Amino acid sequence: MGRSRDSSRPAGDGMSDDEFWGTAPHSPSGSTRSPSDDDLFGDTPAAPPPADAPSSRRPWWPYALGGAVAGALIVGAVVIVGGAGDDAPAPPVVASPTTSAPTEPAEPSPTEATEATTTPTPEPAPEPSATTPATPNTGAAWLAVLDTVDVAPEGTSSGYDRDRYGDGWSDTDGNGCDTRNDVLARDLDDVEMRDACLVENGWLDDPYSGERTYFERGWETSALVQIDHVVPMAESWRSGAAAWTDAEREAFSNDPLNLLAVDGELNQQKQADDVAEWLPPYEGSRCGYAAQMVAVKSTYGLTVDAAERDALAEILGGCGETVLLTGTAWPLTE
């Protein structure tokens, strides 16, 4: 590969298990009548006149003559009234009450219907911002991310001390469980828990060997599955972390983006090597492994040296669909 392992570097950066940083978990924590027509209009008929009412006979012609005169007068009055202007008051008309069927309400005009039924139009959901980052999913996309990582000569290990990265696995995300158990719970299948935080056992599809490995907690078995820092802590020191604060280094060492549950033996074999010096034996994981390296270095502003960059570019250049081995989205957003 690009360069051989530097024997002067600190080895054994694969933070293994109980024997390294410990595994003690944090303890989690009345109706009314309607009026009738009789009530409203008083339609009771009048009583007929008495049958025995007296009558007197008189000559008929005076009455006939008087009736003729009266008729003529009435006709004249009708003519006069008919010729009156529109302003003359019309005689009152008394109509007998009738009961009619209720009429259907008139349909509103199109304008009225529109005004009556118009409701506010909901605002469409905003389109995703053009600046919202999407997780790269091809080798070419990860190459584009690699182009944003600074290339610089690798620094030295002078001053490096594992203790500068914290006392061990901590609960940096505040969920009540230490990071090691969080990663085991994420990466293992068929997990059994001893309590809310402590992973008792489970199966690992190991990304480094391509084999399925059984994890069981115990002094003699826990080390079979260890937690690897994809970008080793010593490598991060030589790539810029030497200038960080201790708190920043502790956050880095507990970041799940940079952590994988892997075969313990291969983790020890890798030690503190970068991608130019060591790759997973299982070739099916190399694209994801290279992408994971790029994601971590880009996130933390760490540099790559020329050999690293060439190795990463060669691997990613031959990759099609490529996802992170952690199966997480990147970059992480709040």
Over residues 256-272, the pLDDT tens digits come to 999 999 999 999 999 99
Task: Please give the pLDDT value at position 310.
Answer: 99
Instruction: Please determine, for residue 152, whether its predicted confidence score (pLDDT) is greater than 80.
Output: yes
Instruction: Please determine, for residue 235, whether its predicted confidence score (pLDDT) is greater than 60.
Output: yes
Instruction: Please determine, for residue 231, whether its predicted confidence score (pLDDT) is greater than 90.
Output: yes
pTM: 0.64
Instruction: Please determine, for residue 33, whether its predicted confidence score (pLDDT) is greater than 80.
Output: no
What is the percentage of the chain residues whose pLDDT exceeds 90? 57
Task: Please give the pLDDT value at position 155.
Answer: 96
Q: How far apart are CA 311 and CA 288, in angstroms?
A: 14
Instruction: Please determine, for residue 223, whether its predicted confidence score (pLDDT) is greater than 80.
Output: yes
- Could you report the per-residue pLDDT of 166-197, keeping only the tens digit for each? 999 999 889 999 999 999 999 999 999 999 99
Instruction: Please determine, for residue 162, whether its predicted confidence score (pLDDT) is greater than 80.
Output: yes
Q: In what order do the strands lie in the sheet with 199-205?
A: 188-193, 199-205, 212-216
φ, ψ at 299 (rounded to 5°): -60, -40
Show the tokens assigned to 276. 């130019």
Instruction: Please determine, for residue 297, whether its predicted confidence score (pLDDT) is greater than 70.
Output: yes
φ, ψ at 204 (rounded to 5°): -115, 125
Q: How far apart are CA 202 and CA 274, in angstroms?
A: 29
Task: Please give the pLDDT value at position 134.
Answer: 80
Furthest-apart CA atoms within the chain: distance in Å: 160
- Could you report the per-residue pLDDT of 47-85, keeping only the tens digit for each? 444 444 444 344 433 343 344 333 433 333 333 334 333
SS (H, E, C) the chain: CCCCCCCCCCCCCCCCCHHHHCCCCCCCCCCCCCCCHHHHHCCCCCCCCCCCCCCCCCCCHHHHHHHHHHHHHHHHHHHHHHCCCCCCCCCCCCCCCCCCCCCCCCCCCHHHHHHHHCCCCCCCCCCCCCCCCCCCCEHHHHHHHHCCCCECCCCCCCCCCHHHHCCCCCCCCCCCCCHHHHHHHHHEEEEEECCCCCEEEEEEECCCCCCEEEEECCCCCHHHEEEEECCCHHHHHHCCHHHCCHHHHHHHHCCHHHEEEEEHHHHHHHCCCCCCCCCCCCHHHHHHHHHHHHHHHHHHCCCECHHHHHHHHHHHHCCCECCCCCCCCCCCCC
Contacts of residue 167, defined as CB under 8 A and 6 or more positions apart, other chains included, come to 21
Pick the residue with more confidence: 117 or 290?
290
Task: Please give the pLDDT value at position 135.
Answer: 86
Task: Please give the pLDDT value at position 5.
Answer: 54
Across residues 294-322, what is the average pLDDT?
A: 98
Q: Across all residues in the chain, what is the average pLDDT?
A: 75
Pick the residue with more confidence: 291 or 118?
291
Pick the residue with more confidence: 35 or 212?
212
Pick the residue with more confidence: 74 or 117?
117
Report the sign of the C-alpha dihedral through residues 61, 64, 66, 69, in that order: negative
Instruction: Please determine, for residue 325, whether its predicted confidence score (pLDDT) is greater than 90.
Output: yes
